[in-house]
């Protein structure tokens, strides 16, 4: 049985993974996203290179702004349930963006549903599912029509 301190440490490590994903997306580092999620699946796409390719195909980057997405992904209210070397988390996200053609505004709101595994190197994503609940002007965020 884990001590309260060990449970807290596990939850903090998992929370950092949630935040790391947001940081990588905003940076336009889709290879980094692929590495972060690479031991699992994102919306049914498995493997790091395939996940990185998915983001590169669907998400716009701005070369004149350091190849970043010009977004800020905010991950809120994470609830993490631990079960040995497995954990589940659910959290809310809000994506805001500001470009020359899109004023500063929220563009997407939804929920993340994540599953994690743990090995001798620590916690890692095994599955991420996204439930998009509200969509605003994503014309400068996505390369695809939704």
Q: Are 140 and 99 in contact (CB under 8 A)?
A: yes
Tell me what pLDDT residue 64 has: 95
The helix (H) or strand (E) run that includes residue 55 is: helix 48-58
**Domain annotation covers residue 143:** no
The pTM of the full predicted model, rounded to 2 decimals, is: 0.94
Total count of domains within the chain: 1
**Domain annotation covers residue 8:** yes
Tell me what pLDDT residue 145 has: 80
**Domain annotation covers residue 110:** yes
- Inform me whether the pLDDT recorded for 44 exceeds 90: yes
**Domain annotation covers residue 118:** yes
pLDDT digits 0-9 by tens, 2-42: 899 999 999 999 999 999 999 999 999 999 999 999 999 99
**Domain annotation covers residue 146:** no
Please tell me the distance from the alpha carbon of residue 18 to that of residue 1, in angstroms, as a whole number: 25
Query: Could you tell me the residue range of the domain that residue 125 belongs to?
Result: 4-135
CATH number of the domain bearing residue 43: 3.10.450.50
């Amino acid at each position: 049985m884990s001590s309260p301190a060990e449970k807290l440490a596990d939850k903090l490590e998992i929370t950092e993974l949630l935040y790391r994903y947001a940081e990588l997306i905003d940076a336009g580092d889709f290879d980094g996203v692929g590495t972060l999620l690479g031991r699992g699946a994102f919306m049914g796409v498995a493997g790091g290179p395939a996940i990185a390719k998915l983001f590169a195909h669907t998400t716009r980057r701005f070369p004149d702004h350091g190849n970043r997405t010009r977004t800020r992904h905010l991950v809120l209210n994470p609830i993490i349930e631990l079960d040995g070397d497995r954990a589940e988390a659910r959290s809310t996200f809000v994506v805001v963006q500001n470009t020359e053609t899109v004023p500063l505004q929220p563009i997407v709101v939804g929920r993340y549903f994540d599953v994690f595994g743990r090995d001798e190197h620590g916690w890692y994503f095994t599955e991420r599912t996204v439930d998009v609940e509200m969509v605003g002007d994503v014309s400068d965020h996505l390369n695809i029509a939704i």
